[in-house]
Chains A and B, each alone.
Chain A
Amino acid sequence: QVQLVESGGGVVQPGESLRLSCAASGFAFSDYAIHWVRQAPGKGLEWLAIIWSDGSNQFYADSVKGRFTISRDNSKNTLYLQMNSLRVEDTALYYCAKDPHYTGYGYFDYWGQGILVTVSS
C-alpha cells in the first residue's frame, strides 16, 4: 500500500533552517509529482510546493517562495523540503502528499501523517 513517512521536524529559532524528508513506498515514486502541504495548529490546509516526477520543475506558494526548496531523489524514493529563514508563522504540521499525475493535476490522493515544525524564540 502507498506509504509516505515524513521526518526531520523539530523546534528551531526564527531565522534558522530545517530539512524535512518524506520516504515513499508502495508505488512507483518516480512516476508521480509530489507536494508539500502544511497545516498551522488548529487551522486549515495550505499548499506549499510541488515537484514533477522527474524533478524538472518545481512551483511554490508565494508564502514560501525564495525560502523553501523542494527536491527529490528518485533513486532513494525520497522527497525533501529545505526550509531556510524560518519564521514563527511557519509553525505547522507539514505533510507530503502524492499527486495522481507526473506533472501534477493539483490534488492529493495519498498523504503522509505529517511532521511538526515549531519556530519559536
Chain B
Amino acid sequence: EIVMTQSPATLSVSPGERATFSCRASESINGKLAWYQQKPGQAPRLLIYGTSMRATSIPVRFSGGGSRTEFTLTITTLQSEDFAVYYCEQYHKWPWTFGPGTKVEI
C-alpha cells in the first residue's frame, strides 16, 4: 500500500501568520490527494481534493499544491478557527491511505 507521511507533526503559529505543511507519498499518486481538517470532538472536513481543488465552502486562504510524491497545504493568514489537525489522503491506489496528521497549534 502507499504510505503517506506528514511533516511537521506539530506546527506552532500565531493568528494572522501563514502556515505551510507537507505530505509525502511513498510513490507517485497522480495528483490524487485530498486534505482534511479535524477539530477536537468533530468529524474530519474535506478541504482540498485533486491536490489543489477547494471543496465546497472552503475559504480561499486554504490552498494546496504539489505533484508526484510531494504535496503541501498552505493556510494564509491563520484564523482562530484554523487551529486543528490536518490529514492528507491519497486516493490514487486502493487501499486509500491517510497521513498521520499535522497539528496546527497556537
A41 to chain B, nearest CB (A): 12
Q: Are A47 and B96 in contact (CB under 8 A)?
A: yes
| Chain A interface main SS type | loop
Q: Are A47 and B87 in contact (CB under 8 A)?
A: no
Asked if B66 lies at the interface with its beta carbon under 8 angstroms from chain A, I say: no
Identify which of B12-20, B40-48, B75-83 touches chain A: B40-48
Q: Are B100 and A113 in contact (CB under 8 A)?
A: no
Asked if A46 lies at the interface with its beta carbon under 8 angstroms from chain B, I say: yes
Residues of chain B in range 27-74 having any CB-CB distance to chain A below 8 Å: 32, 34, 36, 42-46, 49, 55-56
Given contacts A44-B87, A44-B101, A45-B87, whether A107 and B95 have CB atoms under 8 Å apart is no
Considering the chains assembled together, what is the distance between the CA atoms of A47 and B97 in angstroms? 7
Partner of B55, one of A46, A47, A62, A109: A109
Q: Are B98 and A44 in contact (CB under 8 A)?
A: yes
B89 proximity list for chain A (CB < 8 A): 45, 47, 107-108
10 tightest Cβ-Cβ pairs between the two chains A and B: A106-B91, A111-B43, A107-B34, A45-B98, A106-B96, A47-B96, A107-B91, A44-B100, A109-B46, A61-B95
